[in-house]
Structure 1
């Protein structure tokens, strides 16, 4: 397995995001939870790609 997949600087924020989404989304419908998760994950991917130089 690649070292990049085991880096804590990527794993910890992802786990924190999941916990925060669960806590905030308790009152949301499943479609709203799914939409929030998708939008946030797309933003995370864009930020990571920008930091790495769009490679």
Structure 2
């Protein structure tokens, strides 16, 4: 994997952990699923463009 993909993913995970401290586990799972879906869509979009 390239560093330009790994660094934003790790930073997003850290930010999601910080923001989700007061949330329930089901809310955390929903936020994680939506975040992963957005990351996958962005990666697919970028790869299709080049």
1:20 equivalent in structure 2: 15
Unmatched tracts of structure 1, length 5 or more: none
2:25 equivalent in structure 1: 30
2:5 equivalent in structure 1: 10
Deviates more, 1:45-54 or 1:11-20: 45-54
Length, aligned pairs only: 49
Between the aligned partners of 2:7 and 2:42, the Cα distance in structure 1 is: 16
2:47 equivalent in structure 1: 52
TM-score of the pair, normalised by structure 1:
0.83
CA RMSD of aligned residues (A): 1.2
TM-score of the pair, normalised by structure 2:
0.90
Runs of 4 or more consecutive aligned structure 1 residues displaced over 2 Å after TM superposition: none
Between the aligned partners of 1:43 and 1:22, the Cα distance in structure 2 is: 17
